[in-house]
Structure 1
């Protein structure tokens, strides 16, 4: 649902940009806490070291899966937005940043989503989907049985609802700043209707991914923390909680997370570099609605239309399969590097702030000791 330049007028696009910038500022602060948080007291250092690369991997995976348009109705396709998936895996604040990194790189490198519409796209695709999905997910997890199956089911419902919610927000923005004279009622009906169908695909992808990670490393699913059942041991005929494994488990967890990271990166590269060739060529939900209702009459040529990677193809590579595959691989590589870099910087900033806050106390403690 990448809106191009020209769909929304300049004042509303600018206002959406301000909203997006404010939300990103809040997310940066929240992500510092999320990226420092770990799976348990026995793995503090190991957890802190693995969170930034895993968050970067989530961004790369979302980029890869967004290339896989799936058919949803006659002549219409859809693709993952990723807000629900990111929020459940790495937390809502980090999730907003993950999707925003993807949207920024898509707009700049691949001419997908207008540059002046970047604030609109971040507001609809990153902020709305993440906030709606995570709020609904937490509400469902609180009332459902404390099992992994419940987490997977909650992720399905949250992802399903987040997509039409995004369509509603876009419709509201278009009602305020749309550049064509089109009935808002018709736009709303068409947008919500097709995005409910797209939401089913989003929900399936999100639930399958969350379920797969839960099966291998449930501690890496942030949304599952606090709801996982502890291992039970039978002692003298009674079931008791198994004790924590202790600090020795930290290095093993770090090694295991590297395997998960490597597997996720390979999966992303295969999806973007090979499977994307078989994605649906039909227009996505927003493109279809825009064409059917004349909204696209005001669409402007993308400022990065001359990019060597525009439209997810490599310039001067004649073979369509090779061109698209190379573009996908490059996109995954750039996203994982950029995303990991951003999250490392955020995490290190948090660590620096904590060190500065602790230094006066350490100084006083040293003085007391010397006395």
Structure 2
């Protein structure tokens, strides 16, 4: 759903840019608390220090999976937006930053999404999806039975709803600042209709990923904090709380998961992406069918050596696209890790005040029957 230059007029694009800057500023402030593990000084640390090393990886993983367009209907494809996945795994504010880093890398290096439309894209794809998904996820997680299956189901529903919400947000922006005269009712019907279908794919990817991480390291899933039930042991016929296990050393506890996630991202972007659908995505299809793209402008980064997810000078399509994907994942994980490393340093006072010893045990959610 990357909006190109020329779809939205200059005043509205500028206003969206201002709104995006404000949202990112708020997200930076909130992400410091999320990375510090406390919402304010004095609150108990609940694993935020464990989230920081994963945030850059989440951004890289979203970049990789966004290269995997999947077919939907009528010659249309879709791809992950990633707001729901990021919000559930590392927190809503950190999630906004993760998707924003991805969009920035895509726009500057690969000419995917207009540079003048960057504010629109961040607002629609980073802010709206993250806020909607996390609100739905937390609401469902509080009323459903505790357990991995329930959290996975909540993640599926949250991701499913976040995609048509983003489509509706684009439609609203287009209604105010669209550069072509297309009836807004037609745009809304087409955009929301096709993105409901794309949302099913988004939901499946999000649920599978969240479920896999919960199965291995539930304490690293931000959205599961405060929802875990203590583990129970049957002693003499009665159920008692199991003693809390000492937290594993940070380096050992994160290294395998981080390495596995990074390798997976490289494989998806460098190899699996070659088999992605070549059909236009939801926005491209609607824009072409309804005439929204009549005033599309040439991308300012059209001379990038990685234009359109290829490497300049390499004629082999498979090699060019795969190498571009690997480079994109590498650049994104470095950029994202740098941002979140700086945030973690800024958030250190919160963690120190909340837990001077720097330790906090997080119980795994009990599996529902």
- What do the CA deviations read for 1:314-346 (whole angstroms, capped 9, x no partner)? 000000000000000000000000000000111
2:34–2:48 Cα contact (<8 Å) kept = no
1:77–1:284 Cα contact (<8 Å) kept = yes
CA distance in 2, matches of 1:168, 1:324: 32
1:148–1:224 Cα contact (<8 Å) kept = no
Bigger share in helix = 1
- Give the 3-state SS of the residue equivalent to 1:233 in structure 2: strand
- What do the CA deviations read for 1:107-158 (whole angstroms, capped 9, x no partner)? 0000000000000000000000000000011110111001111000000000
Partner of 2:258: 261
TM-score for the superposition, normalised by structure 2:
0.92
Partner of 1:110: 110
Pairing 1:335–2:332 present: yes
- What do the CA deviations read for 1:244-271 (whole angstroms, capped 9, x no partner)? 123xx331x5413210000000000000
Pairing 1:299–2:296 present: yes
In the comparison of the two structures, how many residue pairs are matched? 350
- What do the CA deviations read for 1:58-91 (whole angstroms, capped 9, x no partner)? 0000000000000001210000000000000000
2:47–2:220 Cα contact (<8 Å) kept = no
Partner of 2:144: 144
- Give the 3-state SS of the residue equivalent to 1:268 in structure 2: helix
| 1:274-313 mapped onto 2 (5 Å cutoff) | 274-313=271-310
Q: Which residue of 308, 319, 323 maps to 1:322?
A: 319
Give, in angstroms, the shift of residue 224 of structure 1.
1.2
CA distance in 2, matches of 1:75, 1:122: 26
TM-score for the superposition, normalised by structure 1:
0.91
Query: Is there any run of 5+ residues in structure 2 with no aligned partner, and where?
Result: 39-43, 355-369
CA distance in 1, matches of 2:90, 2:49: 14
2:37–2:351 Cα contact (<8 Å) kept = no
Give, in angstroms, the shift of residue 243 of structure 1.
1.2
Output the aligned Cα RMSD: 1.9
Partner of 1:22: 22
| 1:209-248 mapped onto 2 (5 Å cutoff) | 209-246=209-246
CA distance in 1, matches of 2:282, 2:162: 15
| 1:1-371 mapped onto 2 (5 Å cutoff) | 1-37=1-37, 50-246=50-246, 249-251=247-249, 254-351=251-348
1:83–1:95 Cα contact (<8 Å) kept = yes
Partner of 1:363: none
CA distance in 2, matches of 1:2, 1:263: 28
1:110–1:309 Cα contact (<8 Å) kept = yes
- Give the 3-state SS of the residue equivalent to 1:312 in structure 2: coil
- Give the 3-state SS of the residue equivalent to 2:248 in structure 1: helix
1:277–1:324 Cα contact (<8 Å) kept = yes
Give, in angstroms, the shift of residue 347 of structure 1.
1.3
Partner of 1:366: none
- Give the 3-state SS of the residue equivalent to 2:141 in structure 1: helix
The structure-2 alpha-carbon separation of the partners of 1:162 and 1:227, relative to structure 1 and needing over 3 Å to count, comes to: same
The structure-2 alpha-carbon separation of the partners of 1:103 and 1:356, relative to structure 1 and needing over 3 Å to count, comes to: same
1:70–1:78 Cα contact (<8 Å) kept = yes
- Moved runs in structure 1, 4+ residues, more than 6 A? 353-357
- Give the 3-state SS of the residue equivalent to 2:288 in structure 1: helix
- What do the CA deviations read for 1:2-56 (whole angstroms, capped 9, x no partner)? 0000000001001111111111000000000111118xxxxx9995654322000
